[in-house]
């Protein structure tokens, strides 16, 4: 099984690069499942029904989220109607939506789990570690029911992400870090077969401040003046950042994890080869 996970989609440039590449990559790489983190897809803050459907129409199977999930109020009702959009599992039970989704493919089912970190984030969240393990009591990778399990861990602290990956090593196919919008170079397979990367990066304009206008420098970092309005997203060409997870269909373990970076400011790698091998009409 081949699964593509793309990092935080930021505003129109991020949606555009998803629309450009996903239909082509699904066919070219025979992808079985495509997952993206969409919590910044609506003008940089939140996910709306309109932007969610734009991602689905581009060939995305599952949309994960994070701390900006409720920034667009229409998602409060739409997430109840659309199970392919998931919010962090460790929110309190009374919030709308669910923290996981089972995506059916021709090879088998992929369980996608979304969770959020506590360190430097929101201390009011429940602890994701035992909550994920409790869910996994009902789902085993490599079974007839579930062929792969992908965890999007939306967290700030690198150490917390690494800790969760080792905690779940052998129980899930991959733990993929999101939230910081900067791709790390530590993709690897842990001793018991779980793939891991600290942060997959963003799908957005990298000639920016994590996807947002450079005007934030003067307000936030030089003058220390809070911005009256939220910073606007940067509108330059986007880079698609993601990873491809290849699995052992018998065990559900990861057999290969490869970084994908296409277009924009940090283009150039697919499995270590030049991105000029990709042509999209």
Helix (H, G, I), strand (E, B) or coil at 6: strand
The catalytically annotated residue of 68, 154, 179, 181 is 68
Q: In what order do the strands lie in the sheet with 33-37?
A: 62-64, 33-37, 2-6, 240-247, 254-262, 269-270
Contact 171, 135 (CB under 8 A): no
To the query of whether residue 68 is one of the catalytic residues in this protein, the response is: yes
The owner of tokens 């667009």 is 72
51 Cβ contact list (under 8 Å, min separation 6): 15, 38, 41, 42
* Partners of residue 148 on adjacent β-strands: 110
* Partners of residue 30 on adjacent β-strands: none
146 Cβ contact list (under 8 Å, min separation 6): 102, 108, 109, 110, 111, 139, 140, 252
Contact 37, 6 (CB under 8 A): yes
Q: Which are the catalytic amino acids?
A: 68
């Amino acid at each position: 099984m081949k699964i593509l996970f793309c990092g935080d989609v930021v505003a129109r440039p991020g949606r555009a690069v998803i629309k450009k590449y996903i239909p082509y990559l699904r066919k070219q790489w025979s992808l079985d499942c495509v997952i993206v983190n969409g919590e910044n897809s609506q003008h940089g803050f939140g996910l709306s029904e309109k932007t969610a459907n734009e991602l689905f129409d581009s060939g995305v199977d599952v949309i994960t989220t994070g701390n900006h999930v409720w920034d667009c109020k229409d998602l409060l009702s739409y997430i109840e109607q659309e199970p392919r959009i998931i919010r962090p599992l460790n929110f309190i039970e009374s919030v709308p939506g669910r923290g996981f989704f089972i995506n059916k493919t021709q090879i088998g089912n992929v369980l996608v789990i979304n969770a959020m970190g506590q360190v430097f984030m929101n201390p009011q969240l429940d602890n994701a570690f035992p909550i994920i393990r409790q869910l996994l009591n009902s789902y085993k990778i490599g079974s007839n029911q579930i062929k792969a399990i992908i965890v999007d861990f939306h967290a700030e602290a690198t150490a917390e992400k690494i800790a969760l990956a080792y905690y779940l090593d052998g129980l899930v196919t991959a733990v993929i870090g999101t939230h910081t919008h900067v791709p790390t170079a530590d993709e690897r397979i842990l001793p018991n077969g779980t793939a891991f990367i600290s942060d997959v990066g963003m799908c957005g304009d990298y000639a920016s401040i994590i996807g947002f206008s450079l005007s934030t420098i003067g307000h936030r970092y030089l003058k220390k003046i809070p911005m009256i309005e939220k910073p606007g997203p940067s509108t330059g060409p986007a880079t698609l950042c993601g990873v491809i997870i290849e699995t052992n269909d018998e065990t559900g373990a990861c057999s290969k994890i490869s970084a994908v970076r296409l277009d924009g400011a940090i283009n150039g790698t697919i499995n270590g080869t030049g991105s000029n091998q990709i042509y999209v009409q």
